Structure 1
């Protein structure tokens, strides 16, 4: 309870004058008006210079707000990282400086090389499904000496004695080391020369036009594909197994362009008489060349010395029955099965090549030789 010590001064109460002991009273009104109570400060250190603030909002109770906070500033974009903190976005200047670092450039260079290597492997794998690039390298491994000798062999094959293919272990040697090996360089150059010669002949006869030259080129190419399909279907229907591959047949079919080019040139110089004389001789030479070259690969079947799969480049290894693989000898395949079918196929190829040579060139020869040639 409250008490007032000043009211006890000067009062007598049965004793002498002096300060009496303070008496506790129970009536607050008898003590007079109380002094004002200071305002309640909820927290120590309250600064009385600021006016008392009202009660905070219910959702901010117990949180002291900053009066200098900018509530107009944009809020950060929401994060959709499923609870993970969002990384700050780098500026273009920071990205440029980071890309100029040698470590980053080295990593980007290595990563680019890996992507390029993977892409090159995918492209090569897809191309090899349809075009045997590795085998094409073998058929174009020629030199000038081989080309000259092979052209002389196709035109004058009657003096040649050795027709066997040469092998390096189980794989045939490249054409530039073996004159009897098939190649695709001479057929390709023969096709281009035939198309150019056709345009020249049509120009001399005043029949040249871009449409005509394109027709001649496309028809010659179409007949090549027709031959391939005809030979492969014949082998499949007759159930004839040989060591010949599609590229081998393409190479041997392309050698007829040499006879065709010679026939057209003879027709330009000597007229139809010279054309048919050269066509007759070149047809005999081409048939003889094909029979001598194909008989080993056709008549020996597809088996090798070990009876296994064919070695690289689609060729079969040297026959096991031949004592000297480089000698011009051959024998019937073991068992003798399908020998007649192989002989018929060999004759079929030897006959169709001269016929196609005549079919593709007879319309280019004039009835008479030009006056300058007489």
Structure 2
């Protein structure tokens, strides 16, 4: 029902009676009546049984706590809150070590330690020994070894003595028969020591001291050779393309003729020894002159690998003479040292008996 107060006042100043509105649609639809619910309006999840205590200022002390009583003893062996467990017995430790998981962990740890030790050894060894350079001198195969032995014993038919180069570095010995190597000298040294002991045993002169003296003397003489060659090059101020390991390789090739001469003396006596020594000395000198000539006479000014440079520079007359003298010096000292290290091992007559076929 709408009531308008201004309309109830008449012209005469009295109050007019309000009219009832019969049109219900003009008043708007009535609001719906809420459904009846007998329960509470909401279900509270938690309700306090008693009201909270009023707020109080200050700190409330617990009068029941006794501060004079001693606390629990500290435990430094174990962390607080964890129970103390007894130590494992040796039998339990042994059974634990037998577990496959523990053995695998120990094996992996041992491999790691071995790998670390290997790296340390290689790093310390590379400071004193050029390991990467040594690999070049041992890069050989069976075909190369056989051809190199034939070249040392029969060098007269060989025509090409130049080294082969791959860009600025020489190729490995297995691909170039003229390249120096350290495999044949090292194997020749071991074979010479064993053959010397065998020949001394056939002559009833063998003893452990004798074979030790043969090994040490052969090693000492090759070190003496190296020092002699390097000092000669330094004093004469001769520049070459030879490296120290190259000189060591060429100095070790004399073991081939030493072994051949000892075998000849073992079968034919001193006559066969001297005949074999003369021939092999001549072939070794020829081989050394032809091989070293490429690197000694070329000097260090240019590399034979350069395609557009002169592979044979023209040094001064005095420089050429010094290089030629050095070649002759090497070619003479190698046969002399071969004779010095082998002549006392040769018997006066043939030791090996001649086998005749049975009738």
Whether these two folds match at TM > 0.5 is: yes
Whole-Å Cα distance in 1 between the matches of residues 147 and 62 of structure 2?
Answer: 114
Whole-Å Cα distance in 2 between the matches of residues 45 and 303 of structure 1?
Answer: 100
Count of equivalent residues: 282
- Which residue in the other structure is 1:269 paired with? 267
Matches for 1:332-347 after TM superposition, within 5 Å: 332-334=313-315, 338-347=319-328
Which range moved further: 283-292 or 231-240? 231-240
- Which residue in the other structure is 2:224 paired with? 226
Contact 1:149/1:179 (<8 A) preserved:
yes
Whole-Å Cα distance in 1 between the matches of residues 337 and 238 of structure 2?
Answer: 24
Matches for 1:138-177 after TM superposition, within 5 Å: 138-177=136-175
Residue 365 in structure 1 maps to residue 346 in structure 2: yes
Q: Secondary structure at the match of 2:283?
A: helix
Please, which runs of 5 or more residues in structure 2 have no aligned partner?
1-59, 94-98
- Which residue in the other structure is 2:123 paired with? 125
- Which residue in the other structure is 1:189 paired with? 187
Whole-Å Cα distance in 2 between the matches of residues 299 and 166 of structure 1?
Answer: 17
Residues 320/349 of structure 1: CA separation in 2 closer, same or farther (3 Å cut): farther
Q: Shift of residue 337 of structure 1? A: 6.0
Q: Shift of residue 304 of structure 1? A: 2.6
Contact 2:202/2:351 (<8 A) preserved:
no
Instruction: Say which of 236, 241, 250 aligns to 1:238.
Output: 236
- Which residue in the other structure is 1:356 paired with? 337
Q: Shift of residue 75 of structure 1? A: 4.3
Q: Shift of residue 144 of structure 1? A: 0.8
1:183-202, Cα deviation, whole Å (9 max, x unpaired):
11111111111111111100
1:279-320, Cα deviation, whole Å (9 max, x unpaired):
111010000000000001011111235xxxxxxxxxx74585
- Which residue in the other structure is 1:331 paired with? 312
Q: Secondary structure at the match of 2:312?
A: coil
Measured on the aligned residues, the alpha-carbon RMSD in Å equals: 3.7
Scaled by the length of structure 2, the TM-score of the pair is 0.68
Comparing both chains, which one has the higher relative contact order based on Cα–Cα distances under 8 Å and sequence gaps of 6 or more? 1
Q: Shift of residue 370 of structure 1? A: 3.6
Whole-Å Cα distance in 2 between the matches of residues 171 and 163 of structure 1?
Answer: 17
Whole-Å Cα distance in 1 between the matches of residues 75 and 223 of structure 2?
Answer: 69
Matches for 1:77-156 after TM superposition, within 5 Å: 120-156=118-154
Whole-Å Cα distance in 2 between the matches of residues 45 and 297 of structure 1?
Answer: 102
- Which residue in the other structure is 1:204 paired with? 202
Scaled by the length of structure 1, the TM-score of the pair is 0.66
Q: Shift of residue 372 of structure 1? A: 2.5
Q: Shift of residue 367 of structure 1? A: 1.6
Residues 137/209 of structure 1: CA separation in 2 closer, same or farther (3 Å cut): same
1:306-356, Cα deviation, whole Å (9 max, x unpaired):
xxxxxxxxxx7458545xxxxxxx634355562211111111111100000
1:121-179, Cα deviation, whole Å (9 max, x unpaired):
44323211211111111111111111111100000001110000011111111111111
Whole-Å Cα distance in 1 between the matches of residues 218 and 63 of structure 2?
Answer: 107
